[in-house]
Chains A and B, each alone.
Chain A
């Protein structure tokens, strides 16, 4: 079946098998490898992408369900030359160890800050609760998000 969506502001028309998950289409068809598959069952949040302003697990979504949607992956958030304020804060605070969870973490944080410029600690905690990290112990991740929240320059 043919589907159309926009990924990181670029329109795509793709012929997909209706069984294909969004994560597989993003990684294998479009080549956006920043979206990671951790658990593959919606527990870890490494596969988080933003669809129409909402974070979702791309491993629990068929590509067909995203037909007509606007998708943002980590590649659309920032890059080495001009990192997003959240990415900058992650680097400065040291919120990255192995890095596997980082794309999902950054997207959850970005989406929160897009909606609430100065979120409370509790709001940050809830927004980040769907992303697991097995290295950092979360403290530095939350500190990085808080730093951006306090500066409010997203």
Chain B
């Protein structure tokens, strides 16, 4: 097996086009899959030496997070906690300190586990993915990208994520079998636009209730443009349970998850709604 360590994005993309290779991000999933024989790459392009891919940059309209920024780096970033609170929260609780020090947000998307912790917050916050394809640069909404299989062609590089800076309030919660090191059994991210006592647009994304994380249109429609109070939360709980019931069908985990999602939803909104339900 060949191993490349390019120093620049252009070099990495060129290598991907000319060799039959896989990109290696943090490796916390890929190295394990190689070890078990689940994947056998012919060559690897290690993106770990490209400093530019790790950057978290504040542009006027969006926050750009490089695909190789680790969960630890994102979880320590003030820019992220100010602009994308739900993502910041997700990065605190993913895996363990050791895994957060290596695992990257780009790798989280590339591996695309149903339980990927980074994806529901990115979806709820309306993130776009910055790709470098054979044709050039492409910016595509994450929600659209998650519909395609395979996610991206072999020679497309996930360059980073753009999170619109719209001043959204957001929150994330997950259900694991224990606090640290647990793969999410269920995760919920909510982002809302607050206009005084009203909520404007609401986005709710769910993880680990399907093949991939998804943004629920039903929930967005049911919860947008209303007064933010206790009744709104209760309506959210009811609706999210309905969505989970439909998404899971008769899967074995359905009876459990459809009840559990109520608590996870409450926890996700608790971070931006103080107790009692009304906004300050």
Contacts and interface: CB of A to CB of B under 8 A. Distances in A.
Interface of A: 1, 17-19, 21, 40-43, 45, 48, 54-57, 59-62, 64-65, 67-68, 108, 126-127, 129-132
B3 A18 contact: yes
Given A40-B35, A54-B72, A60 B97 contact: no
Contacts of A68: 49
B110 interface: no
Contacts of B72: 54
A130 to B, nearest CB: 3
B98 A65 contact: no
Contact of A54 (B24, B95, B101): B101
B32 A41 contact: yes
Contacts of A1: 3
A44 B19 CA distance: 36
Nearest to B72: A54
Interface in B37-94: 44, 46, 48-49, 72
A127 B27 contact: no
A68 B7 CA distance: 13
Contact of B97 (A19, A43, A127): A127
A55 B174 CA distance: 24
Nearest to A1: B3
Interface in B1-20: 1-3, 5
A130 B95 contact: yes
A65 B24 contact: yes
Given A19-B34, A130-B96, A130-B97, A57 B28 contact: yes
Contact of A43 (B3, B48, B102, B181): B181
A41 B29 CA distance: 9
Contact of A60 (B1, B31, B46, B180): B31
A21 B97 CA distance: 19
A21 B1 contact: no
B179 interface: yes
Contacts of B96: 42, 45, 129-131
A131 B97 CA distance: 9
Interface in B202-257: none
Nearest to A69: B48
A61 B102 contact: yes
Q: Among A1, A19, A42, which residue has the most Cβ atoms of chain B within 10 A?
A: A42
A42 B35 CA distance: 12
B99 interface: yes
B259 to A, nearest CB: 27
A64 to B, nearest CB: 5
24 contacts: A18-B1, A40-B35, A41-B32, A42-B98, A43-B181, A45-B96, A55-B101, A56-B98, A57-B28, A57-B98, A59-B31, A60-B28, A60-B99, A62-B27, A62-B44, A64-B46, A65-B24, A65-B48, A67-B5, A108-B98, A127-B97, A129-B181, A130-B95, A130-B180
Contacts of A18: 1-3, 44
Contact of B28 (A40, A42, A131): A42
B51 to A, nearest CB: 13
Given A19-B34, A55-B97, A67-B5, 15 more contacts: A1-B3, A18-B1, A18-B44, A42-B99, A43-B181, A56-B102, A57-B98, A57-B99, A61-B102, A62-B24, A62-B31, A65-B46, A108-B97, A127-B97, A131-B96
